[in-house]
Chains A and B, each alone.
Chain A
């Protein structure tokens, strides 16, 4: 070592400006830039001028009516795209100065680009885009994702990876349909659904905790098992006497008095089925109890450092078992969405991969109930967007539109997540 090193004042930091810094990640500003320019060109500059887009906001039951809004398509799209471009520039400047940007930026950016897209999609069309309906449907489609993501986080916070959410949703949907049909009560179906989920969860617990099989493999196998069992019963029992076994009544929509009449918010949040209200309660309860209760502290301890939990007398595997079965029941309840809440008969593989999107929502929501809710709503929105635009009719081929929710999922999880920290011991069996 060179001589001067020994006598320099090592404990005091030298001039901060002279220090080498970590390389800047340009991922975010680049992404914003590309999307805002694409938006500007595709939705603003390329289309012909002189067309108009219309949005409706009110529903008939509101306190007061808001007239449909009609805007000139081209200039509105350009304006929105320019705002997005401005945000991209802002993001670039902030990144360059090594400052962090709040979550408001991606939120506003997303709204601008989506609105620009909607303005373009509706340009010159006779049918207006029902904004309230779009949001209402988003929440509706997000229901299984929210329950699925909550299930995932309950299990993973305790250290068990639950890939079987898809199967638990399907099992819940199946049992809800059958029980509701036999009893002619949608509510009975709602009670049966979590039981089906919990049964699948019990199998997950049996294999992953008792027999220490790789949790992801067990989860995948359980998904296939539930598909097999429900498809078999569907083809044999349900099809033979569909009137008796597979014609579940629909959960009634319950309007919360007063609240449901507030424009926009009312129809979206408070004109829903009881399943949605249960969802609000579950999200709120989990948010409080996971982070503030004795139960939650132990649950998280077991998922982070099981040995530490063991040394203070917490039964690690019993805690994991309980939370996994509870989580699976939550997913089963979410499964009721497909049959009794949607008012549909059970169909083979009707969950269509929602359980996996729910896992993505859990990660995007950073293993947090409220975060999972927000992420699930984003995915629900992209799902419903494709439905609404299908009705309005757009120049985009329907197959491409069908991809939207999945593309959004990939971009969201890859790009927006940033640095997340999953529970440290998830997926690692605890064996003394």
Chain B
């Protein structure tokens, strides 16, 4: 089916998320929609899928103008979408999720479970998915959940499949499988719209590439373009793709985590006997697929939860058992993974957010009252230092863009003398400019001699930033590799394969993306050389 978008415009108040966007997707084509976070890709697809009404423009299917009142209409017209945040009910089974909305029924409105199961089995077998129709979604790994989403779309006879940042949660090996599935779908005549900001993938998969910047189509590109070309088209200026950092000069090991174990109220071992150390002046990255205990590990180090066993020592002082305030005062800086929920109080002003942790000590506090002049002066200074773009320091933090919010969090956490800096998903959802800034500040902190821990699910970030990498899987540490290791080895370790085995497997078979890495290394392009 041919899909065409003509002059789609979508405004949210003063913000123009999509500005007269034109896009044509030919039948059986993999069309990549490339753009940074916040460029308006997802908005466009939500318009196409009937979740948003466009302010202007029209959607054409096989040259027929169509109006979708809701996702139901879009689906009926043959459009399927795999959302970035899966639209699956965690407490339902695979079959129930696939059936939802077009359930096969027996008499009396009761669901024909056998038919629902059979449908899942059929599609799953056709593409070699190996998905159990009776498994509960919440018990499935993210890769399998994504396959359920694809089954869901295919079970509704989707002829155009939209994949919104599908590789964000996958290991390189899983990404490889996904690429295989996409090619298979293409063979069978399905058109695919592939939304991403990852240049490597675009080049590996797409037939055609449309680049979007700030809500506008800025051009088409062919998959043979270099990453550098794509990057400058996407960002609008030339960018350095790697992280600009010198070699680490590690000092003594001041952070020691020993046998840390966290069990959640449901009895699940979220962190399982984790031990590692961090030296002064080095960045340790904790890599892993989302939900393998990284969140719990950082929370327990900060004192938000208590471990059932183990210790965290900072310069010989035990941190376990101390309150969050004591841990912060001991010199730990912490950037939580969700800045809007845990990092900031959205309704508070930028100035207030900058002193959340120090509001009760001089100079910001004078006995029982706060010294507002000092708070304001501090904010003026920090916003300049950290390049926070805000109309005023009195603006509510929630009104800033994601990148500026993250800079506020960084400014707060880095403006104390630190003995340990922990950043969880420091650049998730940020635009390229902000990512560069955040990375630069983290490297700067390392160069000051602070031990730094980065928790990231983004392999590019891990490979670019880390001096050492440990990989977590199901709450355990699978193994440790030096910074800049082989992407495929890391990917396999993220799926629980031990180091030695991962190296053997990776050497035997390289994934599309990992292979691209190696090629780049041999071709010595500038951005890879500084790893």
Residues of A within 8 A of B (CB): 1-2, 5-7, 9-11, 14, 19-23, 288-289, 292-295, 297-298, 300-301, 304-305, 307-315, 419, 421, 424, 432
Contact = CB atoms under 8 A, between A and B. Distances in A.
B261 A292 contact: no
B344 interface: no
A310 B52 CA distance: 12
A20 B261 contact: yes
Contact of B108 (A7, A11, A293): A293
A289 B273 CA distance: 45
10 tightest Cβ-Cβ pairs between the two chains A and B: A313-B72, A312-B101, A20-B309, A308-B87, A22-B263, A1-B276, A294-B103, A6-B480, A10-B478, A311-B87
Given A1-B275, A308-B89, A313-B75, 6 more contacts: A19-B272, A294-B111, A297-B99, A304-B89, A304-B92, A312-B87
A1 B277 contact: yes
Interface string B284-312: 10000000000000000000000011100
B413 interface: no
B398 to A, nearest CB: 17
Main secondary structure of the interface of B (DSSP, over half): mixed
Contact of B479 (A6, A23, A297, A312): A6
B71 A311 contact: yes
A133 to B, nearest CB: 39
B105 A294 contact: yes
23 contacts: A5-B480, A9-B498, A10-B477, A10-B479, A10-B498, A11-B473, A11-B476, A20-B310, A21-B308, A22-B308, A23-B308, A293-B108, A293-B109, A293-B111, A297-B111, A308-B88, A308-B97, A308-B100, A311-B51, A312-B72, A312-B75, A314-B100, A315-B70
Interface string B52-78: 100000000000000000111101100
Contacts of A10: 473, 476-479, 498-499
Interface in B466-507: 468, 470, 473, 476-480, 496-500
Interface in B92-144: 92, 96-97, 99-103, 105, 108-111
Contacts of A14: 273
Contact of B266 (A288, A308, A419): A419
A5 B277 CA distance: 11
A7 B499 CA distance: 8
A293 B238 CA distance: 57
B101 A309 contact: yes
Interface residues of B, number: 60
Interface string B223-262: 0000000000000000000000000000000000001010
Interface of B: 49, 51-52, 70-73, 75-76, 81, 83, 86-92, 96-97, 99-103, 105, 108-111, 152, 259, 261, 263, 265-267, 269, 272-273, 275-277, 284, 308-310, 468, 470, 473, 476-480, 496-500
A21 B263 contact: yes
A186 B100 CA distance: 42
Contacts of A307: 87
Contacts of A1: 275-277, 284, 468, 470, 480
Contacts of A311: 49, 51, 71, 81, 83, 87
Given A1-B275, A10-B498, A432-B51, A419 B265 contact: yes
A1 B468 CA distance: 10
A46 to B, nearest CB: 40
Given A1-B276, A311-B49, A298 B478 contact: no
A51 B2 CA distance: 91
Interface centre among A2, A14, A20, A293 (most CB of B within 10 A): A20
A302 to B, nearest CB: 10
Contacts of B308: 20-23
Given A304-B89, A308-B87, A419-B266, A314 B480 contact: no
Contacts of B152: 312
A343 B372 CA distance: 67
A315 B101 CA distance: 10
Given A5-B477, A22-B308, A312-B101, A305 B90 contact: yes
Nearest to B113: A292
B110 A313 contact: no
Interface centre among B49, B97, B473 (most CB of A within 10 A): B97
A314 B110 CA distance: 17
B219 to A, nearest CB: 31
B88 A305 contact: yes
A297 B90 contact: no
Interface centre among B72, B100, B273 (most CB of A within 10 A): B100
Contact of A310 (B71, B103, B276, B498): B71
A390 to B, nearest CB: 41
Interface centre among A1, A19, A23, A424 (most CB of B within 10 A): A1
A11 B89 contact: no
Contacts of B99: 297
Contacts of A432: 51-52
A99 to B, nearest CB: 13
A5 to B, nearest CB: 6
Contacts of A9: 498
Contacts of A20: 259, 261, 273, 308-310
A312 B276 CA distance: 45
A227 B73 CA distance: 45
B242 to A, nearest CB: 25
Contacts of B284: 1
Interface centre among B49, B71, B75 (most CB of A within 10 A): B71
Given A308-B88, A314-B101, A11 B478 contact: yes
B90 A301 contact: no
Interface centre among A10, A304, A424 (most CB of B within 10 A): A10
Nearest to B81: A311
Contact of B261 (A7, A19, A309, A313): A19
Contacts of B76: 313
A310 B109 contact: no
B420 to A, nearest CB: 15
A5 B276 contact: yes
A301 B101 CA distance: 10
B277 A312 contact: no
A1 B286 CA distance: 12
A366 to B, nearest CB: 12
